[in-house]
Amino acid sequence: MNWLAHIFLSEHNIDFQIGNYLADPLKAKAWEGANEDIKKAMKIHKLIDSYTDNHPTFKQSKNRLGNSGLLKAVVIDLTYDYLLTKNWHRYSNITLDKFLDDFYIKANANMHTLPDEAKQKLKSLIEFDLLNKYQSLEHLNQSFNRVDRRISFRVLKRDNVSRYYEIVCENIDEIEEDFLLFFPQLCNKVKENVNNSKLIHWKI
């Protein structure tokens, strides 16, 4: 799952949400002095990634992109964020705009508590509104291009994310069926490992 999903799959607590996001760019290594919510969130991030990568429905979505490909998991992670955006009303009792506004405001207010590297990553997320870039398939294509610009030349010689865009579009209905089956199961897995009383933004 990508960043929007990770922040949604968090206790409704800004430190937890920040930790769940930062686990990706910081390789799930909390900094010295990080509070318990940050640390717990990074563990949940790893649980989410492991559960997702090993789930048969996620694997089925990857297989819809062809028999081979180095970056299929990345493509499906991004596509699932698009599908979460599209189906947000199924899972959240807070509109996406309000959810993101609340996160951005509180994250900015907590910025001073973070070390420089974490602060830089969070500032970029907010400045470029990267959680709100999945409103359409065209936006998804733009996100594919952004990822390609961050990938090393060594990897790009073997595969790139942008080449999957047409394949995703051709199979989007089937991938959406996969997502709608998979995401509630992922939510249930997260519920087993967090404080359910703090999932006040969840509808399911």
Nearest CA to 186 among 33, 56, 34? 56
Collapsed DSSP state (helix, strand, coil) of residue 202: strand
Q: Is the pLDDT of residue 70 over 90?
A: yes
Q: Residue 171: give the domain boundaries.
A: 3-198
Is 203 part of any domain? Answer: no
pLDDT of amino acid 204: 87
Is 112 part of any domain? Answer: yes
Pure H helices in 87-194: 88-91, 96-109, 116-127, 137-150, 153-156, 165-170, 172-191
Is 89 part of any domain? Answer: yes
pLDDT of amino acid 192: 98
Q: Are 45 and 20 in contact (CB under 8 A)?
A: yes
pLDDT of amino acid 141: 97
Residue 30 is classified by DSSP as P
Q: Are 183 and 48 in contact (CB under 8 A)?
A: no
Nearest CA to 154 among 78, 70, 72? 70
pTM, two decimal places: 0.96
pLDDT band at 23 (very low <50, low <70, confident <90, very high): very high
pLDDT of amino acid 68: 86
Phi, psi (degrees; rounded to nearest 5) at 92: -125, 140
Mean of pLDDT values over 50-77: 97
Is 189 part of any domain? Answer: yes
Mean of pLDDT values over 18-32: 94
Contacts with 12 (C-beta within 8 Å, 6 or more apart), sequence order:
198, 199, 200, 201
Q: Are 134 and 143 in contact (CB under 8 A)?
A: yes
Q: How many domains does the chain have?
A: 1
pLDDT of amino acid 50: 97
Residue 92's DSSP bridge partners are: 202
Q: Is the pLDDT of residue 73 over 90?
A: yes
Is 204 part of any domain? Answer: no
